[in-house]
Structure 1
Amino acid sequence: MTLRTAFCDLVGIDFPVVQAPIGGPSRPALAAAVSNAGGLGVQAVSWDRPDQLERRLAKTQGLTSKPFGINVVLEWPQHDRVAQCLAAGVRVISTFWGDPAPYTEMIHQAGAVHIHTVGSAAEARDAVTAGVDVIVAQGWEAGGHVRGEVSTLALVPAVVDAVAPVPVLAAGGIADGRGVAAVLALGADAAWIGTRFLLADEATTGPTYRDALINAAETDTAHGIVFDKGWPNAPHRTLRNSTVRAWQAAGRPEPGQRPGENDVVGTWLDGQDVPRYADLAPLAGVTGDTEAMALYAGQGTGLLRETQPAAQIVEEIVEHCQARLTRW
């Protein structure tokens, strides 16, 4: 059984599996491994300096000849980064958290595909009207920063109906082949999977973060505005760690009044202090009380069992999805 969809044909991949950008843990080795396995690897580049971005793109292109994508958050101007990626030959540009309209023309002029993440059918219609080629319907179950408040099961078919025949990718709570089969049945063209790939060998997820993901149940995440230093007023889903529990026990106070507001909980890779409530997830090499940092994760975390090579994750997801669809 083939799993190839219209989206696969559009971007040149074999399987409807997209590795979500997952912020800091997403690096060239991860994106390249996913792309080499037949999916689409995507990297978060919203805060890269031009020299960092140049090295990132060159390294990725040295590891794969397959398509890969980049993601930028539109809370901040991203024209220069998008232009640099397009000039380097990237042909899949993903945008999030803002108006995609100012970016569609430059993306299309370069012959690239524009993907935009939304949290509602209305937002999806606006994005398509602006010229976006592919929509990611992000359910409330998703880890990291979450755009809307609707579950994946309810959101995906609503968005599919709203923007057909534009391809729709489903995000939020999808961590295995059963989830991919489910969203394909809902009308999605592919699954946008983040939390599962945090446990890829190639991800730079810190060891305490990995252990917490493996040991967490599906009930162990919290949604709200907690880790907001660096990105204010942006709801997100993380594991319920010591910082989140203390904040909840205090009655969920506003920023500036939270427990340990002025604490420094660790040291970043460049030697900078990491304050409590920073929006930084602990990467390998970050030191300090990393358990207290932002452990972004979706509700699919209860399905995580072990660290694996990214290619094995893709293979396993595809195999289990095919088996489920064949059974149906």
Structure 2
Amino acid sequence: MTGAGWRGRLGVDVPVVQAPIGNACTPELVAAVGEAGGLGFLPGTWSSPAELHRRIHAVRRLTSRSFGVNLVLDRPQHERLALVLDHGVPVVSTFWGNPAPYRGRIEAAEALHVHTAGSVAEARVAADLGVDVVVAQGWEAGGHVRGTTSTLALVPAVVDRISPVPVLAAGGICDARGVRAAVALGACGVWVGTRFLVAEQAGTHPRYRERLRAATAEDAVHTGVFRDGWPDAPHRALRNTTLTRWEEAGRPGPGARPGEGEVVAEHASFGPVRRYADLVPVVGHVGDVEGMAMYAGQGVGLIGTTAEPAASIVLDLSRGCAG
């Protein structure tokens, strides 16, 4: 499949992909990205089957454009994958594990399979399995970070190693200049998370939005502090009170962390949030939301200070694909 082939197959106008930004991702965001010509992803990993069903149908009510569902493979995902494919979702993305047990079923359903890799070796394994598109995720990325190599070094190395499999670049890309650089490195498009956190349609908590808009690259720390719910998965998040207290205590493990077990926030629908949980603050959280995980990549200082709809973000990023 060529770089443009995956877009033609899905009816995607521009190679701008909205990453599945956890529980801040809403059906409205995914649909708006699709309506703007890009490709949006729902996170499916931690949703119950009933909730995932509801969210897929919510996107479908808002758009007829293609969208995808993301599944994290550090836990079995056969039930959720079956639900996604039974609902005819045209794209499945996988991350943080071996896609081999899932590849055959995705292929048989004629869905597009996207897999995120943090190294050349991992990308080669995915390509050898027949994965349709590989996301090369650089170390600059926000949220959970698979590898240790920068986007600038990783993307061209992956492109060289797995050509002609299309490669999307991820990590630190927040504006058209980053997109232009990714294309120059051989990527066929980009996978962007941090900038979509501040889209009007995202469910991001207002305080989280404020922190994102005020942050610089240095505020986005590569750490392992927000591990409860997804252990042994390094991530990049904005420095906050939880991270600072943990570092000052010597980065202790579970059982010895300062404030462990404390409820830092509550949500009427989702319940209490304890310190060190792998959860970002969304609309409706009350309490010390500052102590929750605020994932962000090193491109965070480029997102600007003006609220904008997802369509404007897609349009701005797409300018880097032209010419």
The answer, yes or no, to whether TM exceeds 0.5 is yes
Q: What are the residue-to-residue correspondences of 1:288-327 with 2, within 5 Å?
A: 288-305=287-304, 306-319=306-319, 321=320, 326=323
Residue 22 of structure 2 aligns to a residue whose secondary structure is: coil
Between the aligned partners of 2:136 and 2:9, the Cα distance in structure 1 is: 18
Q: CA separation of 1:275/1:121 partners in 2, compared to 1, >3 Å: closer, same or farther?
A: same
Answer yes or no: is 1:223 the counterpart of 2:222: yes
Between the aligned partners of 2:217 and 2:85, the Cα distance in structure 1 is: 38
Paired AA for residue 15 in structure 2: P
Match of 2:11 in 1: 12
Paired AA for residue 229 in structure 1: D
Encode CA deviations 1:148-189: one digit per residue, 9 max, x unaligned.
011000000111111100000000000011111100110001
Encode CA deviations 1:78-100: one digit per residue, 9 max, x unaligned.
11111111111111100001110
Residue 281 of structure 2 aligns to a residue whose secondary structure is: coil
Deviation of 1:7 after TM superposition, in Å, equals: 3.5
Between the aligned partners of 2:155 and 2:144, the Cα distance in structure 1 is: 18
Between the aligned partners of 1:289 and 1:259, the Cα distance in structure 2 is: 15
Between the aligned partners of 1:140 and 1:9, the Cα distance in structure 2 is: 30
Match of 1:149 in 2: 148
Between the aligned partners of 1:227 and 1:104, the Cα distance in structure 2 is: 30
Q: What are the residue-to-residue correspondences of 1:1-328 with 2, within 5 Å?
A: 5-270=4-269, 272-305=271-304, 306-319=306-319, 321=320, 326=323
TM-score where L is the length of structure 2: 0.96
Residue 137 of structure 1 aligns to a residue whose secondary structure is: strand
Between the aligned partners of 2:89 and 2:255, the Cα distance in structure 1 is: 41
Paired AA for residue 309 in structure 1: P
Structure 1 residue runs without a partner (length 5+): none
Between the aligned partners of 1:307 and 1:79, the Cα distance in structure 2 is: 38
TM-score where L is the length of structure 1: 0.95
Number of residue pairs matched by the alignment: 320
Given that residues 6 and 189 in structure 1 are in contact (C-alpha distance below 8 angstroms), is that contact kept between their aligned partners in structure 2? no
Residue 123 of structure 2 aligns to a residue whose secondary structure is: helix
Residue 21 of structure 1 aligns to a residue whose secondary structure is: coil
Between the aligned partners of 1:121 and 1:271, the Cα distance in structure 2 is: 38
Deviation of 1:254 after TM superposition, in Å, equals: 2.1
Encode CA deviations 1:106-134: one digit per residue, 9 max, x unaligned.
11111111000010000111111222111
Residue 24 of structure 1 aligns to a residue whose secondary structure is: helix
Given that residues 7 and 16 in structure 1 are in contact (C-alpha distance below 8 angstroms), is that contact kept between their aligned partners in structure 2? no
Given that residues 7 and 190 in structure 1 are in contact (C-alpha distance below 8 angstroms), is that contact kept between their aligned partners in structure 2? no
Given that residues 143 and 299 in structure 1 are in contact (C-alpha distance below 8 angstroms), is that contact kept between their aligned partners in structure 2? yes
Given that residues 243 and 293 in structure 1 are in contact (C-alpha distance below 8 angstroms), is that contact kept between their aligned partners in structure 2? yes
Given that residues 224 and 237 in structure 1 are in contact (C-alpha distance below 8 angstroms), is that contact kept between their aligned partners in structure 2? yes
- Percent identity, aligned pairs only, is 56
Deviation of 1:51 after TM superposition, in Å, equals: 1.4
Residue 165 of structure 2 aligns to a residue whose secondary structure is: coil
Residue 166 of structure 1 aligns to a residue whose secondary structure is: coil
Deviation of 1:261 after TM superposition, in Å, equals: 1.6
Q: CA separation of 1:102/1:139 partners in 2, compared to 1, >3 Å: closer, same or farther?
A: same
Paired AA for residue 130 in structure 2: G
Residue 23 of structure 2 aligns to a residue whose secondary structure is: coil
Q: CA separation of 1:32/1:271 partners in 2, compared to 1, >3 Å: closer, same or farther?
A: closer
Paired AA for residue 121 in structure 2: A
Deviation of 1:271 after TM superposition, in Å, equals: 5.6
Encode CA deviations 1:174-226: one digit per residue, 9 max, x unaligned.
00111111001100011000000000111000011000000001110111210
Encode CA deviations 1:228-264: one digit per residue, 9 max, x unaligned.
1111111000001111111122222222222212321
Encode CA deviations 1:42-78: one digit per residue, 9 max, x unaligned.
1101111121111111110111111101101011111
